[in-house]
Amino acid sequence: MSSDPDKMMSKADKMTKLTLTRWSADWRGATELYEQAANGFRASNKYEKAKVALEKASKGQEMQASPWDAAKHMESAAALAQKLSIWNEVVDFYRKASELYVECGRAQPASDALGKAARALEDVKPDDAIQLYTDACEILEEDGRDQMAFDLYRACANVYIKLEKFTDAATFFLRLGVAADKCDATNSQCKAYLSAIILYLYAHDLQQAEKCYNDCSQIDAFLKSDQSRSASRLLTAYNEGDIEEIKKVASSSTVSNLDHMIIKLARKLPTGDVTAIQMNTNDDLDEDDLT
């Protein structure tokens, strides 16, 4: 019961090392010591050592066949690593924690762990963050809890938007739509489709936007919704080059109910080329007519 965490650590290490006098490691005692040491380090703000202690405590719990406690310790270790900005360790720890949660059969905490990791990495390593978000969504979908995946999809799409990869973001919104369809969340589904269409328009890709609108109109729920009406108004306004109408739709209440990133993009919408698009399509028609 020494109060010095270092001493506890060394004692616990000795307990786990197999020597001639010790044939089997005493994980229980060691784990307890590790946990106490970690608390002591945290209290004295020695985060590096606390992290190490938590890692070892988690290993101990795993050896004792209690994956839940192990996962919890791993998460705490990952949080400390985040504070210390050791990013690859953050990823590793959270992934390990998530695996342990899956071992317990608890999908929600598993995806939560990956979500936390992704959020930590959003600014620093966005690609890894996206990978983490995707994995988290997969875990939830496997478990049949698609509704919880909505937030993750939205966060992932936001990361893509920050990276200005609009088509990828739109793809994620479409995946959101699929997930929403599975759980009959029609409102989220329609909002997701409208967001995708707006993203395509923001990327100047009118054909893709129209294709997307046509595809989504196959779905009854979207066809009858306010969002599809706003989408069709937006597309006709684009086709006619009517900037006023675009602005009006972008500030309507339907659009203002989407994610705030999408609202920002929608407000900036006629991204310059509207009349050019219109003239192009007109020229095409004229050529066809003449020939």
Q: Contact residues for other proteins (CB under 8 A)? A: 145, 147-148, 183, 185, 187-188, 253-254, 257
Q: Which amino acid is at 162?
A: K
Q: Please, are residues 230 and 252 in contact by the beta-carbon 8 Å criterion? A: yes
How near is the Cβ of 152 to other proteins at its closest, in Å? Answer: 13
d(CA 56, CA 93): 12
With H, G, I as helix, E, B as strand and everything else as coil, classify residue 73: helix
How near is the Cβ of 260 to other proteins at its closest, in Å? Answer: 14
How near is the Cβ of 185 to other proteins at its closest, in Å? Answer: 5
d(CA 250, CA 266): 5
The CA–CA distances, whole Å, from 127 to 155, 202, 282 equal: 13, 22, 41
Q: Please, are residues 240 and 228 in contact by the beta-carbon 8 Å criterion? A: no
Residue number with CB closer to other proteins (31 or 254): 254
Residue number with CB closer to other proteins (147 or 217): 147
Residue number with CB closer to other proteins (10 or 147): 147
Residue number with CB closer to other proteins (101 or 166): 101
How near is the Cβ of 31 to other proteins at its closest, in Å? Answer: 25
How near is the Cβ of 67 to other proteins at its closest, in Å? Answer: 18
Residue number with CB closer to other proteins (184 or 286): 184
How near is the Cβ of 116 to other proteins at its closest, in Å? Answer: 19
d(CA 212, CA 174): 9
With H, G, I as helix, E, B as strand and everything else as coil, classify residue 206: helix
The angle at the Cα of 187, spanning 182 to 188, to the nearest 5 degrees, equals 65
The CA–CA distances, whole Å, from 26 to 34, 53, 135 equal: 12, 16, 36
Other residues' Cβ atoms within 10 Å of the Cβ of residue 150: 20
Residue number with CB closer to other proteins (184 or 284): 184
Q: Please, are residues 215 and 181 in contact by the beta-carbon 8 Å criterion? A: no
d(CA 251, CA 198): 13
Residue number with CB closer to other proteins (43 or 223): 223
How near is the Cβ of 215 to other proteins at its closest, in Å? Answer: 23
